[in-house]
Structure 1
């Protein structure tokens, strides 16, 4: 006897199945460049370096923050501390900031989606 342990994920959830070479595959769709993931959509994000991550660059996500609990940010190939004051400003919007390298962010976002967590993401393409 075998059991299927694949989690059931609703079709409206965004799932990142691959990343690298400057692109992502989200729900079987190839997307070039950095991305924002929110409200069941993927939009281009004109950020290419972590120093460009600001409240202004994250504004589309912050505009819908009241519908979410977690903001996953992928800051590029290597992880480092977020810019001073960013974590506190995001917390004031009611979000927990999860700041990590882009590979970890893609994986974390997808796991949180399978857990049906209310999650936003901003991920720099690597």
Structure 2
């Protein structure tokens, strides 16, 4: 038996509204997570985003569940930033409407769409 500690990917299995954001993380479902997150139909996952705009590697959970997603909200930190053309094209080809906005606005919009039981997903860049 190995003495090595195995780290599991941070994951909440299910859909939940975001209760709070800031201080470098998020609160949801009576839990907290430090860092950025992606919310898809199968759950909420912690991700290591290098910058406020997602890269292709940050999109894996979205692509894995693309057939269950109609709207993708992208919270780009404190400022509104645009998705790169390659990601906009990829999402368009998957029939996913992508909207970028500040993380705060994206969290609020996500919670409304989730309450309406819409096919929504989100990537939120953590803000201090």
Under a length normalisation based on structure 2, what TM-score does the superposition of the two structures give? 0.82
Root-mean-square deviation (Å): 1.4
Q: After the TM superposition, which residues 66-85 of structure 1 pair with which residues of structure 2 at under 5 Å, given as runs?
A: 66-85=67-86
In 1, Cα distance between the equivalents of 2:15 and 2:47? 19
Would the aligned equivalents of 1:14 and 1:40 in 2 still touch at CA under 8 Å? no
Preserved CA contact (<8 Å) 1:36 1:122: yes
**Long gaps (5+) in structure 2:** 1-13
What's the counterpart of residue 65 of structure 2?
A: 64
Greater alpha carbon shift after TM alignment, 35-44 vs 18-27: 35-44
Asked whether the equivalents of residues 18 and 28 of structure 2 are also in contact (C-alpha less than 8 Å), the reply is yes
d(CA) in 2 for partners of 1:95 and 1:121?
Answer: 12
8 A contact 2:36–2:48 mirrored in 1: yes
Which residue of the other structure, out of 44, 69, 74, is the alignment partner of 1:42?
A: 44
In structure 1, how many angstroms separate the alpha carbons of the residues matched to 2:22 and 2:30?
15
Aligned to 1:7: none
3-state SS, counterpart of residue 107 of structure 1: helix
> Could you tell me how far apart the structure 1 residues matched to 2:20 and 2:50 are?
18
| 4+ residue segments displaced more than 2 Å | none
- Unaligned runs of at least 5 residues, structure 1: 1-11
- After the TM superposition, which residues 95-110 of structure 1 pair with which residues of structure 2 at under 5 Å, given as runs? 95-110=96-111
Match of 1:14 in 2: 16
Which residue of the other structure, out of 17, 25, 28, is the alignment partner of 1:26?
Answer: 28
1:102 is displaced (CA, Å) by 0.8
Contact 2:15 2:44 in 1 (8 A): no
